[in-house]
Amino acid sequence: MTIKVYMTNIAGNQLTIGNQRKVKHILDANKIDYVDIDISDPKNVAEKEFLQRTLSPINKTLHLPQIFNNEEYCCDFDDMTTLKFVPYSSAFDTGFWHELTRRKLEIYRLDSSNQSIFGYYANDANDNMPALFNVDHQCFDENNKISNQQQLYSVNGTLKLVNTIEEFKTFDIDSALKTESSLLWNDFVQGGTLENPQKLNRFYLLIFADLKKYIYHYWFAFPTFLVPTAFNLLSPVKSIGEQFPSDEIGAITKTLEANRLHACCLHRQQNSSFAVINLKQAVDNLNEKPQSASEYIFIVNDPSTDPAHPGWPVRNLLTLLYYHLRSVEQLNVICWRERFRDGQQYVNHSLYLQLKPESISNIDDTVPPSAGWEKNERQRLGSRQVNLSTSMNPVHLAETAVGLNLKLMKWRLAPEIDLESLETMRCLLLGAGTLGCNVARCLMAWGVKHITFVDNSRISYSNPVRQTLFTFQDSCENRPKAQAAADALKAIYPGIKSIGYDLTIPMPGHAVGESTIEKVKEDVNFLHDLIRQHDVLFLLTDSRESRWLPTVIGAAEQKLVLCCAVGFDSYVIIRHGVPAKESDTPPTRYKNFLRGDKLGCYFCNDIVAPGDSSIDRTLDQQCTVTRPGISMMASALSVELLVSIMQHPLR
């Protein structure tokens, strides 16, 4: 039989040249004899009039040979006959990147194995919005998974966080998609998705994080299956406002509000009400009584806002139903969408689909081909990137970056190092000169966030080249060293808590006049309070006697005291002993170790009390004359000693 073929779409418009070629290719492939009727040709006026009269009853789609059973045939390549779908468009909450950075540095480190995470989509977007799929800072913790409330629906997924950009670029995306698709397909085939519709969707997220530049490369995949059939519509896509009367829409809305599921089925009751049943029960009922298909309406929450095309969850639901349904002639689906305005709920824009299912249950157990990698900004398959360095709060950016090198130590070199104890430690530096500046810089580098300076001198022109926290401008202004040092630390890192006190430490051998007795008492009490408020005391002053009172107070308060002093080409670093408490009994394995109360202090070898060491001294004896590098070596080792002490379990 030879048939007439009118190259038009359902609207009666001539098909494009490309679509005409598709039609002819399908006809030739199926060995169908045809006559091509060009209705745009003026000679075919009669044919055009015939087509206008008979377009609706004879309009069909080209998928199977047996549909060519009429003498005339209108070829329809319009989107209204084959259902198309809107893919997800990924979106990140900024908090996701902060949490990812923290986990990479502190938890995952070099571990690039798959991690379980979750994301979510909503069905309440405004018109012309993409079908957003969101991940945020809570997506790493299963305990934070949202319930299906407030139009949010969670989706399980896999995070692959690689260690190098080369690994990201050469990653086997086909294998990853196949693995993720197999998880999805196994749930489809074994019925797990019918019982738990949350399994309708999965996602895969590939990321490389450049934590020095805060540039994140990522690529999303949302697996779906390329099944050997099209999703053919029995009628054009409608809104439920066009399909159902308002009382039925109200009944459907009320029923679904009490049963917020990713997908379910409504069974129409005799009194025009609806009962919710799960997907498995609906499939079993339809396979048992296929003729009752009109009584069942499948519901799926739809993230798309397109008036004619549903989103990815609908595609996966149809694949699931096509696999499990055997001889159903009609499938009714509502793509449920909600919108709220001025406190009112609107659902009439939800889509209503009527489809002719074609069973794919004959597919063997192997996973069918899949697709789902997201396109980039150029609408090509490829990764995307986000640069947070320009949008993040600079202070917060610095706070995260300060600990980067320290946390990298834990990846390979020192996995057990305790950085938290250093970060929370409060350090008091007595002396803000050469040693004080260098010790403070080392403490900052180790992540110490609380540093207090005490000094009574001012910055002179000879100081800035040796005392690394000061500048020429400071010496011009003759600023107090303690306050200038604290300000310099804040300028280096705004997140540090640093303060400077202009305080004279009372010293033995230095006379106290009647007029200054009260002031000296106040200074002693203030110094005592400062030492009591801090965890570690550094003695960094430039005379021996200025270290005596802090040593006594530190011992009385059982504080950790570190003393550092330099000579011309030598230095000494001492950790002072701490008086033992009566309750202190070290574990057996430490009994052969030297106890802290057996350690001496800076003055233990003295046979006389300290005196005034600056009296009757020439200039080279009054100033600290030392090789410039000695102070840096001594300061660094003092801080390294502190760090070592803080790693000990009995610290």
Nearest to 462 by CA among 452, 472, 453: 472
Question: In this structure, which long-range contacts are made by residues 349-352, counting pairs with CB atoms below 8 Å and at least 24 apart in sequence?
Answer: 349/239, 349/241, 349/307, 350/239, 350/240, 350/302, 351/237, 351/238, 351/239, 351/240, 351/302, 351/307, 351/308, 351/310, 352/237, 352/238, 352/239, 352/240, 352/242, 352/243, 352/244
Please give the average per-residue pLDDT across 240-253, as a whole number. 92
Task: Quote the CA–CA distance of 78 and 82 in Å, as a whole number.
Answer: 8
Inform me whether the pLDDT recorded for 59 exceeds 50. Answer: no
**Secondary structure (DSSP) of 534-569:** -SEEEE--SSSGGGHHHHHHHHHTT-EEEEEEE-SS
Amino acid at position 180, single letter: E
Spell out the residues 6+ positions from residue 228 whose beta carbon is closer than 8 angstroms to its own: 360, 363, 368
Active site residues: 623
For residues 124 and 103, give the distance between their C-alpha atoms in angstroms, rounded to a whole number.
Answer: 32
What's residue 516's pLDDT?
Answer: 84
**Can you give the pLDDT at residue 606?**
77
Q: What is the pLDDT of residue 413?
A: 82
Residues of the chain with pLDDT > 70: what percent?
Answer: 80
pLDDT (0 to 100) of residue 590? 60
Q: Reply yes or no on whether the pLDDT at 77 is more than 50.
A: no
Q: Work out the pLDDT band at 71, boundaries 50, 70, 90.
A: very low
- Token pair for 418: 């305790």
Between these two residues, 363 and 254, which has the higher pLDDT value? 254
The tens digit of pLDDT for each residue in 509-533 reads 787 888 888 999 999 999 999 999 9
- 198: tokens are 């949350």
Q: What is the pLDDT of residue 394?
A: 75
pLDDT confidence bin for 296, thresholds 50/70/90 = very high
Mean pLDDT (the chain) is 85
Is residue 169 very low, low, confident or very high in pLDDT (cuts 50, 70, 90)? very high
pLDDT of 79 > 50? The answer is no
Instruction: State yes or no: pLDDT of 12 exceeds 60.
Output: no
**Which part of the chain has CATH 3.40.50.720?**
418-646
Residue given tokens 């500046």 in the structure block: 437
Question: Who contacts 412 (Cβ-Cβ below 8 Å, separation ≥6)?
Answer: 110
Least confident of 77-86, 107-116, 183-192: 77-86
pLDDT of residue 333: 96
Which pLDDT score is estimated for 624?
65
**Selection from 506, 496, 468 nearest residue 484 by Cα:** 468
Q: Is the pLDDT of residue 70 over 50?
A: no
Report whether 229 contacts 360 (CB < 8 A).
Answer: yes
pLDDT band at residue 626 under the 50/70/90 scheme? confident
pLDDT(145) > 80:
no
pLDDT at 23 > cutoff 60: yes
DSSP symbol at 597: G
Q: Match 């597919």 to its residue by tokens.
A: 363
The region of weakest confidence among 65-74, 150-159, 255-264, 483-492 is 65-74
What pLDDT score was predicted for residue 78? 44
pLDDT recorded at residue 430: 97
Domain with CATH 3.40.140.100 in the chain: 238-368
Q: What is the pLDDT of residue 4?
A: 65
pLDDT tens sequence across 551-603: 999 999 999 999 999 988 889 999 998 776 665 666 666 666 666 667 888 88
Residue 329's pLDDT is 86
Beta-strand relationship, 331-336 and 351-355: antiparallel
| Phi then psi dihedrals of residue 5, to 5 deg | -120, 120
Q: β-pairing, 33-37 with 536-539?
A: unpaired
Among the residue ranges 99-108, 206-215, 400-409, the one predicted with the least confidence is 400-409
User: Is pTM beyond 0.75 here?
Assistant: no
- Classified by CATH at the fold level, domain 238-368 comes out as Cytidine Deaminase; domain 2 (3.40.140)
Q: Which fold has domain 89-227+371-387?
A: Cytidine Deaminase; domain 2 (3.40.140)
Sign of CA dihedral 602, 607, 609, 614: negative
State residue 106 phi and psi, 5-degree precision.
Answer: -105, -25
CATH 3.40.140.70 domain range(s) in the chain? 89-227+371-387
Find the mean pLDDT for residues 440-461.
95
| pLDDT given for residue 58 in this prediction | 41
Q: Which of 43-47, 76-80, 342-346, 461-465 has the highest mean pLDDT?
A: 461-465
- pLDDT score recorded for residue 63: 37
Question: Domain spanning 418-646: which CATH class is it, in words?
Answer: alpha beta
Q: Which two tokens stand for residue 337?
A: 């969408």
DSSP character string of 255-317: HHHT---SEEEEEE-TTS-EEEE-HHHHHHHHHH-GGGGGGEEEEEE-----SS--BHHHHHH
Q: Say if residue 442's pLDDT is above 90.
A: yes
Give the range among 10-14, 92-96, 152-156, 479-483 with minimum mean pLDDT: 10-14
Confidence label for 97 from pLDDT (cuts 50, 70 and 90):
very high
Question: Which of the residue ranges 41-45, 81-85, 307-311, 326-330 has the most confident prediction, judged by mean pLDDT?
Answer: 307-311
Q: Which range (66-70, 489-493, 586-590) has the least confidence?
A: 66-70
For residues 81-99, give the mean pLDDT.
90
Cβ neighbour number for residue 65 with a 10 Å cutoff: 13
Over residues 288-299, mean pLDDT: 92
Range scoring the smallest mean pLDDT among 268-272, 343-347, 619-623: 619-623
